[in-house]
Amino acid sequence: MSVLMITVNGQAHEIDVPESRTLAQLLRLDLGLTGTKIGCEEAECGICTVLVDGTPVNSCIYPAFKAQGRAVTTIEGLAQGETLHPLQREFIRHGAVQCGFCTPGLIMTASALLDENPDPGVEDIKHALKDTYCRCTGYTSVIQAIQSAARHKHGAEPLPVNDPEVDEPMEVISRSVSPQQVVEKVTGAAKFTDDFTFPGMLFARTLRSPLPHARILAIRTEHARTLPGVRAVLTHQDVPAENLHGLVYRDWPVLCADVVRYVGDAVAVVAADSEEIAAAALGLIEVDYEPLTVVGDPKFAHSPEAPVLHPNHPTGNLLKHIKVRHGDIAQGFAEADVIVEREYHTPTTEHAFLEPECAIGVPAGCLDHEKLTVYVGSQIPYQDRNQIARAMGLPEEQVRVIGTLIGGGFGGKEDIAGQIHVAMLATVTGRPVKMLYTRQESLIFHPKRHATIIRIKTGAKRDGRLTAVEAELYGDGGAYASLSDKVMTRATTHATGPYVVPHAKIDCYAMYTNNVPSGAFRGFGVTQSAFAVEQNMDQIAALLSIDPIELRRINAQKVGVTTATGQLLRESVGLLETIADVERDMHTHHPSQDFAWTWREGHKAYAWGIACAYKNTGLGGGAPDKSEAEVEAYEDGTVEVRTAAADMGQGIAHVVAQCAAEELHIPYERVRVLLCDTDLTPNGGPTTASRQTFMTGNAARIAASALREAITQSVAEMFDVPPQQITYEEGLLRYNGSRVSVGEVVAWMKQHGLDARARHEYWAPKTEPLGSGGDMHFAFSYATQAALVEIDMETGEILVKKVLSSTDIGRAINPLMLQGQIEGGIVMALGNCLTEEFIIEDGIPWTRLLARYKMPSIKHTPEIVSRLVEHRAAEGPYGAKGVGEIPSINTTPAICNAIYNATGVRIYAIPVDQDALLRAVKAGQESIMTAWSDVR
């Protein structure tokens, strides 16, 4: 301990702290300023940025004592009292805040830029924010917000908000209201799990397997237990009840007993007085392993030589064989005039949400917690509760899960992470226990997007009509099932693309391997199949000399056609309009009068590429899909919506608030939202499958409408007027020329023993399982995107200049925030195409550091034009259907089609390797089958 003199946000501190502190630790742990977030501790992501004497630094690796005598500014120090800094205000106005976890870093980095450059251009902003990452927004709104704030700062008019055009806006629906808790997110007051502390709280760490496949011969914990400050060391023997969890198949040990199946499998957990002691204790646990044959890829997994990884699974390493059969495949190819058959490879990819996983367990009876309670930022709180209860041997009612804000999820926070471990450690120690994963641990631990091998054969007639699609997909499910069954089913059922295909035969093999488990990731398998489908489409178009846009128009799904799973599409199929939008925009955005798919300027080749996509909304496939919400009105005229539907930044909180405000005819500002407390909020179901707006939006809408009926009825009784004569206006009810406020009615209701509260359990329209030929899904969203790429023909470097998109989402509940979903989805998908790959070599992850996994930075952000098509879905809330995943599906093939058009080289593996691309160009090769990981 040494004395540190430091000024933080204008306040001088003289504080005795360990010399080993980083500046971020000092701010968060010693000064309680939790607005500064820690994302990687590698100086990679930049979200921990603070200013030291006015210059931005990464506080996660900046020694606190390096700041001796200096002045530090954090996000908490930016606003002047109640008055927000122009950046904070403009980030809100331009919709540049989604999950909010990176927001403090973006704003602090930008504030240093504005201090230096009062009027930055787009390139200046890209230069300054190059290493400050955001995984949600795609940066377009961030750039606008910064430019707008700059203008505001020097007295100019702020920039207008790029609010998309929508059809028939209502009172609150289809209006771009501010998201919930957005002020807290821009000021650093917003609380994510790691921002919570409790008196007497312990810190936990997990011992993970260093081997991809091994038998555990012995685990010795004696030395770890005797380290001073260690309070508990637990192994499989300490799991109170069922030592398994899993969302679909319960195959994943809470703590491994006899065998480890991937690098990162949990073997023991430790709770100690500090994180440092817990980490030191891990080093004292001795585990004897006997290495076993590693199943490193799905094709080997399918071979008779491979060891069976889950002996209890009835089909061995074949986790699931998924089949689509439609028409007569032989006839389909017999009718075809042209056939294209190709094999495509997609890699394992990582969500890289900026908030690493964190969970806090508080034992029953401790600090006002009646039950065993787990605080966690999870996508599925009720299923967390179920899985915790089963492992702990408790009835579900004796476990409470409280959802905190979530710093991004994208599918990566659906499975159990530390929830059960902290429940066990808290119960054993009788104290609150926090388990925060390091970024490096998060990388190796959590389920990823499936690597796939997709062989796809497409047949078409001379006039362009598709006749048949035959496909075989291999998906690397990794060590545990997670959501592989569902994800690979979606890859399979969407493998015809959004087209009319009369004959289809598709087989998918989801395989167990000794790689990191694969699970949900935005796009849910469809991202992979679209990469193959849409490039085959362009090759068919070339063979037939049909324009690629025209080929898609000829085959596009529309109302009245049947999908390859036998579903008759009855409504809300806006694909043709999205194609028309994008075609029009391609001409508008083309640099010259005469449109051309490709052209050269010196050593730069330019080209457009196009791709279409569709994606189901909701679980579908016969799974019961329901969501419940409760709406309550208060005497002060406010309303609360309660539901356990996770908001990981996508915005279900403002969606349900808008639904309630619309139904109750009250201003949006009067609605607050309580999410994800299993004791206080009913079950909104999983945040997955682009389902929340449709499902929980409907639940909130219908509950609010029931509450409105109850309030109207009460007014009718209060004033003895017929209910049909009562009208609503701005939070007031009018009758007979008089008026009464909602709050007054609520007071009257309470006096008369009536609840000003309504609850609704919304059941989605029934769906049928794959193979039954019925409706597998109750709604689909559609999209078309065009990408304009610039290829440096001397270096192979690829720059995506523009992405033009049009998306049929039924209705935009909140147009600006929905546009943020689209922009963020596009940039995430651009990463899928060009930068991202989680590399595993024979079961050993090479991508152990965030430095080895580059998601797109602001530098990669293209100009994005996004249009909305609103083909109402009759069952959706106000006609809305899902948007979460659809933007992330067709960007990759659109870019690859553009690369082909520019270079003549077809891309069969991603992420695209500029090295291989250039070599192919030089050698006159027409394709590359290798990706970045093949450079060795």
CA distance 132 to 905: 33
CA distance 652 to 657: 8
CA distance 590 to 739: 57
φ, ψ (nearest 5 deg) of residue 882:
-75, 150
Whether the Cβ atoms of residue 62 and residue 51 lie closer than 8 Å to each other: no
Figure out which of the listed residues 338, 839, 925, 927 binds other proteins, where binding follows CB under 8 A: 839
Residue 71 sits in the site that holds other proteins (CB under 8 A): no
Length of the chain: 936
Least Å from the CB of residue 16 to other proteins: 14
Q: How many CB atoms lie within 10 A of CB 627?
A: 28
| Residue whose CB is less far from other proteins, 700 or 910 | 910
Strand partners, 233: 270
The site map against other proteins for 125-164 (x = CB under 8 A) is ---xxxxx--------------------------------
Least Å from the CB of residue 404 to other proteins: 24
Figure out which of the listed residues 151, 250, 342, 848 binds other proteins, where binding follows CB under 8 A: 848
Whether the Cβ atoms of residue 903 and residue 923 lie closer than 8 Å to each other: no
Least Å from the CB of residue 391 to other proteins: 28
Q: Which stretches within 432-525 are classed as H helix?
A: 439-445, 484-493
| Residue whose CB is less far from other proteins, 257 or 279 | 279
Is residue 528 exposed (0-12), middle (13-18) or buried (19+ Cβ within 10 Å)?
buried
Task: Please report, for residues 637, 673, 703, 739, the alpha-carbon distance to residue 744 in angstroms, rounded to integers and kept in the order given.
Answer: 8, 21, 20, 10
The site map against other proteins for 204-243 (x = CB under 8 A) is ----------------------------------------
Whether the Cβ atoms of residue 839 and residue 846 lie closer than 8 Å to each other: yes
Residue 276 sits in the site that holds other proteins (CB under 8 A): yes
| Residue whose CB is less far from other proteins, 116 or 863 | 116
Is residue 313 exposed (0-12), middle (13-18) or buried (19+ Cβ within 10 Å)?
middle
Least Å from the CB of residue 150 to other proteins: 16
Whether the Cβ atoms of residue 539 and residue 340 lie closer than 8 Å to each other: yes
CA distance 519 to 495: 18
The site map against other proteins for 437-456 (x = CB under 8 A) is -x-x----------------
Host H or E run for residue 202: strand 202-208
Residue 918 sits in the site that holds other proteins (CB under 8 A): yes
Figure out which of the listed residues 15, 122, 244, 279 binds other proteins, where binding follows CB under 8 A: 279
Least Å from the CB of residue 551 to other proteins: 31
| Residue whose CB is less far from other proteins, 443 or 868 | 443
Residue 891 sits in the site that holds other proteins (CB under 8 A): no
CA distance 123 to 145: 14
Least Å from the CB of residue 110 to other proteins: 11
Which stretch, 572-580, 744-752, 879-887, 909-917, contacts other proteins (CB under 8 A)? 909-917
| Residue whose CB is less far from other proteins, 254 or 898 | 898
Figure out which of the listed residues 26, 28, 35, 65 binds other proteins, where binding follows CB under 8 A: 65
Give the angle 400-405-411 at the CA atoms, nearest 5°: 90
| Residue whose CB is less far from other proteins, 346 or 819 | 346
Least Å from the CB of residue 520 to other proteins: 23
Which stretch, 55-63, 175-183, 337-345, 528-536, contacts other proteins (CB under 8 A)? 55-63
Residue 115 sits in the site that holds other proteins (CB under 8 A): no
Which stretch, 61-69, 72-80, 412-420, 619-627, contacts other proteins (CB under 8 A)? 61-69
Least Å from the CB of residue 331 to other proteins: 44
Number of residues in contact with other proteins under rule CB under 8 A:
61
Residue 899 sits in the site that holds other proteins (CB under 8 A): no
Least Å from the CB of residue 29 to other proteins: 13
Q: Interaction with other proteins in 760-799: which residues (CB under 8 A)?
A: 794-798
Concatenating the DSSP letter of every residue in 93-156 gives HTT--SS-SSHHHHHHHHHHHHHH-SS--HHHHHHHTTT---SSS-SHHHHHHHHHHHHHHTTP
Residue 853 sits in the site that holds other proteins (CB under 8 A): yes
CA neighbor of 201 nearest in space, from 522, 429, 477, 524: 429
Chain residues that interact with other proteins, rule: CB under 8 A: 19-20, 41-43, 46, 49, 55-58, 61-66, 68, 109, 112-113, 128-132, 275-276, 279, 438, 440, 794-798, 834-837, 839, 846-849, 851-854, 860, 911, 913-915, 918-919, 922, 932-933, 935-936
